[in-house]
Amino acid sequence: MVLSKTQRIAGLSVAVAALILFFVFRPSPLPVDSGVVRRGPLQVTLEGEGVTRVNDRYVVAAPVSGKLVRVELEEGDSVRKGNVVAALLPPELDTREYREASSRAGSARAALDEAIARQRRVMLTLAQAERRYGRYRNLYREGAVSKETYELAENEAQTLRKEGEAARSGVEAARFNFGAVQALVDRQVAGKPVNVLSPVDGRVLRIHEKSERVVIAGSPLVDIGDPSAIEIVIDVLSSDAIRVKPGNRVVIMDWGGDKELQGIVKTVGPAAFTKTSALGIEEKRVNIVAVLSKDEPLLGDNFRVQASIVLREAADVLQVPVSSLFRGKDGWHLFVIEDGKAVDKAVSIGMRGTLQAQVLAGLRKGQKVVVHPTNELKDGMSVKTQE
């Protein structure tokens, strides 16, 4: 059958109209943001705000009640062990007060004995740790033990050295306290001052009482410590604290300097405390104490810092943006962009950092994935990446 010219023109018009309607009403590609599967270093970190504090801070208190002579020291002054940091004029003792002072002297003597016993225990433990560290160091050089085992032995020895120094200082502090109280017992004539001595070499961090006034025994007078021996106290949620281990690397940021500071976790608090968040929610938090790998002279006591605790890290892993992942019925999923379409794929995930996650299976390097997928996006849907 031969079509007339009019019929051919009408058929062609219908075909063109159908083609125009197809292009007009077909769904347009969904605009999406994309990321790339790549290889590189990955860290799993725990972020937290912390404050600095002087390690082995000594609060020198009034050993007796009396009138405090005006303190001539200034905050920041250097003092040597045995220097006079304050003086008290005790009132004349009556019989009852003398008995009380004698009792305090006996208590101070017992505290001194306890401090000496603690020092002996610490020194014995330190000697054992030093021997273990020496053995592990030789074994590590021979390849007989792992680096982690060697570093744990080294960290234990370093921690016990610090504890040994603290124990020695504790003995000196107890000895000075006993001497001050015993001097009051021996001194029955009012008007002779009781000198309060510095238990260690260091600097004056804080003066609690500057002017003359009557203070009671036990009132804090002066804080003394070494500002170069700084440690960082970071409080984190108790649910996060269980993932932190002594020896974890710590990066200190936003402390005011132009470089990041490095440190390691010294201890994880054994007990949690309650803290109210900025939103008014009560949280259980734990103190993580870190020490700097290198002293920073610009940092002082009670400075605010931002800390990042490295829980796990790897030098070269396949990874995708965390924002591309979502939970499916059978685990983690994401959308891979193939030939302009979003293809739903199941993936196996390992370490998860703040921005990137390790891919164990399901992807290859160089593939494009959809980040921040919306609920509108479905498997097989046409997509257009936004530049």
pLDDT per position in the chain (387 positions), as tens? Answer: 555 667 667 667 666 666 665 555 555 778 888 889 999 999 888 998 999 988 778 889 998 888 888 888 888 888 888 899 998 887 765 566 667 777 888 888 888 888 889 889 888 888 888 888 888 888 888 888 788 888 888 888 888 888 888 888 888 888 888 877 776 666 554 457 788 888 888 888 889 988 888 888 889 999 988 877 788 999 999 999 999 999 999 999 988 888 889 999 999 989 999 988 878 888 899 999 998 888 888 888 888 999 999 998 888 999 999 999 998 888 899 999 888 888 999 999 998 888 899 999 888 999 999 999 888 888 888 888 875
Question: Whole-prediction pTM value?
Answer: 0.56
The CATH fold assigned to 45-52+228-313 is Elongation Factor Tu (Ef-tu); domain 3 (2.40.30)
Planar angle of CA 378, 380, 383, nearest 5 degrees: 80
- Burial grade of 248 (CB within 10 A; 0-12, 13-18, 19 or more): buried
The CATH fold assigned to 58-89+191-224 is OB fold (Dihydrolipoamide Acetyltransferase, E2P) (2.40.50)
Q: What is the distance between the alpha carbons of residues 80 and 328, in angstroms, rounded to a whole number?
A: 66
Q: Identify the CATH number of the domain defined by range 30-41+314-385.
A: 2.40.420.20
How many Cα atoms occupy the beta-carbon half-sphere of 367 within 13 Å?
Answer: 23
**CB 33, CB 385: distance < 8 Å:** yes
